Amino acid sequence: MSQDVISDALNGIMNAKKARKEFVVVNKHSKLLIKVLDIAIEHGYIKNYKLEENKLKINIGKLIKCNAIKPRFNVGVPNIDKYMRRYLPARDLGILIISTNKGVLTHVEAYEKEIGGMLIAYFY
């Protein structure tokens, strides 16, 4: 286990997906991870999660791949398209998650609000 809670959780989700499991239990969690999971739930990549005894039980949905983006690149509004092409397989498939000063947003919301931030993760 590393120091990066988001990376550990998303790697655990991908390992469970490859092992054809429906659930994964994550021991460490943070507010940022919960916001990332909430966005993934909105888009259907994760069905739900439960906080049980200080552990996070995540129910995996229709997910092909998810990963944390390392290093965390600063991205401005004009550069969002560049990172979309780098991390997502097609233009309308998947989401980039960006941490901004207005909260955690998808790349579409950040582009519409014209806000830059730091890349956190991607789902498709």
Q: Are 74 and 116 in contact (CB under 8 A)?
A: yes
Q: Give the chain's mean pLDDT.
A: 95
Domain count, the chain: 2
Tell whether the model's pLDDT for residue 1 goes beyond 70.
Answer: no
Positive or negative torsion for Cα 81, 45, 32, 9: negative
The pLDDT tens digits of the residues spanning 12-39 come to: 999 999 999 999 999 999 999 999 999 9
d(C-alpha 77, C-alpha 115), whole Å: 6
d(C-alpha 104, C-alpha 124), whole Å: 17
CATH number assigned to the domain comprising residue 55: 3.30.1370.30
d(C-alpha 32, C-alpha 17), whole Å: 22
Supply the range of the domain harboring residue 87. Answer: 66-123
DSSP for the chain, written as a single string: --S-HHHHHHHHHHHHHHTT-SEEEES---HHHHHHHHHHHHTTSEEEEEEETTEEEEEE-S-S-EEE-SS--EE-GGGHHHHHHHH-SBTTB-EEEEEETTEEEEHHHHHHHT--EEEEEEE-
Q: Residue 92's pLDDT band (boundaries 50, 70, 90)?
A: confident
* Domain termination residue (choose one: 60, 77, 106): 60
- 51 and 11 in one domain? yes
- 33 and 49 in one domain? yes
- 87 and 56 in one domain? no
* Domain termination residue (choose one: 21, 44, 60): 60
- 119 and 92 in one domain? yes
The pLDDT tens digits of the residues spanning 33-87 come to: 999 999 999 999 999 999 999 999 999 999 999 999 999 999 999 999 999 999 9
